[in-house]
Amino acid sequence: MAALQGCHCTAYFLTIGWLVYRIGAFNAMYVEERTSEYSRPSYTWFDPPKRLKKVTVDLAKTMSMPLELTAANDARRFLLRWIKMQKTHGHALLISPQKAAIEPYCKANPNVEMTTSDIVALLTLVPPQLHNNSDQDSNPMMQSNEQELLEKEARRYRRSIQLTRSIRRSEHNLTSLTRENEDRIVQLQSRVDDMNSEVARQKHEIQEYKKKESTSLQQIDALEAHIASIESTETNQKMMYRSMKKLYNEKCLEARELHDMLHQKARVLEETERLCQSINNEFHHLKYEKSKLLAMQSTLERELATSRYTHVQLEEQRNENQRLKEIIGGLQSNLLQADQDNDQQLLRYDDGLDYAMNDNTSGGAMEDISQVRQELTQLKYALDQENMSLAAELLRFDAFDNPTETCRDVCDGHKMPTAISSAHQETFNNKDTTALTNTATTFALYTLLVYIFGIVTSTFLLENAAGSSSGLEAFMTMASSSQAVPGSSFATNKLLEVILYWIEKIVFEKRVMAN
């Protein structure tokens, strides 16, 4: 590794020596002419890569011989010529002791700038002692070493060419970077100009602000004097304000007391108005209740008279119902007997009918008999219906004859109209019930009367079909004679009494309803 590093260092310094030699040997005059352009290069000894780069650029601009020597023979010939020229002009590359001798000077003066001629003069050193040529020629080992050395030099030369190309590329990049920096410098210069104008404007504004500040200070002094006068006036005003505030608080307290008193009076007035309104409403209500009670009193008086009359009628109806119960009980037994007699009479009637059909003089009587038959059938159906309704009416009469005990209630005056209306309704319902009962009873008695009349008429016609007297006259005669004949089959004393009673009752009810 140490040998390899030594080879690399040797190649590096050989390249530098060759470039310097070209400057000093072949282009010394041209370099002197262009000294004005490159009189002060921008490199220093403190930065060896930078110095090498700058020298390489200058040499690339000034040298005229070609640099691309790629063939090994050409490189060998060039190196031999280089060594010969080095011996002729007395130039040699820096060796390690020489570099060690120059290093303190470079470190002590890092910013020293040198021209190309200064560098060549500095590198012009005494070449080392050479060995005898006869010894080298006689030693074949040395020849082989020289050949290897030449090959190494050729390789190093090719390496130097590559480095030169990379240096050129770096120079191009540095040129573009320099241009960019110049553009940047122009921009910064414009910005600096803008900033200078802005600074001038700011200075002008500062001057104006200073003038305004002086004016403001004068105004502040005037205002402070004015404030002092105001403070003295304020002290007097504060004393006056305290006295006025004390008076104001007293007035506020008095006004608050008056306000509370006013509210209290307003509440008392509202309560009095509400009381008056309630009394007035109560008065009107009592007045209205009085009128209603007077009307109710007159209505109750009429109802009382009607009730008394109704009680009298009810008592009479109860008595009549009692008598009717007794009469109906007797009539039921008589009806059973009448049914039996009716069956016998029908048999006799059939016999008499056969006899009447044989008799030519009884044609009109036969028509009457047929009509009576139809009436008897209808009356029998109606009688059955009336028997059922009479049974229902008897049950209702039994419930009506046993009323519950009455009691007297204490009612509220405000509920009296409702109670009176309900009492009226009950009275009317009782009246309707009584009228319905009377109507049903009347209809039943009418039906019974017609039924009995039909029986009597049929019996009369059967027994007196050939007679000359009319049916009604015969009936009246039989009725009058039946009082003397106790065994009559179609009429009894009790039956006649019932018929006459109900006839009178019906006539009496019609008169009452008409009145």
Cα separation of 122 and 101, whole Å? 12
Higher pLDDT, 199 or 337: 199
Amino acid at 344: Q
Please state, for a pLDDT cut of 90, what percent of the chain lies above it.
Answer: 5
Per-residue pLDDT band for 514 (boundaries 50, 70, 90) equals low
Higher pLDDT, 225 or 383: 225
**Residue linked to tokens 């009356």:** 379
Cα separation of 82 and 63, whole Å? 15
Cα separation of 190 and 225, whole Å? 52
Domain ranges of the chain: 2-195, 303-402+413-514
Across 400-429, average pLDDT: 45
Per-residue pLDDT band for 24 (boundaries 50, 70, 90) equals low
pLDDT exceeds 80 at position 405: no
Buried b (16+ CB within 10 A) or exposed e, 96-125: eeeeeeeeeebeeeeeeebebeebbeebee
Higher pLDDT, 215 or 67: 215
**Residue linked to tokens 């390690």:** 96
Amino acid at 234: E
Cα separation of 80 and 189, whole Å? 56
Q: Name the token pair of 207.
A: 């001057």
Closest CA to 512 of 309, 323, 321: 309
What is the phi-psi region of residue 113: left when phi exceeds 0, alpha when psi lies from -120 to 50, beta otherwise? beta
When the pLDDT of each residue in the chain is averaged and rounded to a whole number, the result is 65
DSSP state of 360: G
Reported as a single tens digit per residue, the pLDDT across 38-94 is 343 333 333 344 444 444 444 444 443 443 333 445 545 655 665 666 556 555 555
Per-residue pLDDT band for 438 (boundaries 50, 70, 90) equals low
Across 95-103, average pLDDT: 63
Q: Name the token pair of 388.
A: 């059922």
The predicted pLDDT at position 252 comes to 92
The predicted pLDDT at position 179 comes to 87
Q: What are phi and psi of 199, to 5 degrees?
A: -65, -40
Across 428-437, average pLDDT: 50
Higher pLDDT, 157 or 338: 157
Closest CA to 52 of 126, 6, 116, 129: 116
Closest CA to 460 of 344, 345, 339: 345
Closest CA to 505 of 334, 317, 327: 317
Integer-rounded Cα radius of gyration of the chain? 84
The predicted pLDDT at position 411 comes to 44
The predicted pLDDT at position 482 comes to 44
The predicted pLDDT at position 311 comes to 78
The predicted pLDDT at position 421 comes to 47
Reported as a single tens digit per residue, the pLDDT across 305-335 is 887 887 787 788 778 777 777 777 776 777 6
Q: Which of 253-257, 406-410, 485-489 is most confident?
A: 253-257
pLDDT exceeds 50 at position 153: yes
Burial class (CB in 10 A: 0-12, 13-18, 19+), 268: exposed
**Range from 184-188, 251-255, 290-294, 380-384 carrying the lowest mean pLDDT:** 380-384
The predicted pLDDT at position 292 comes to 86
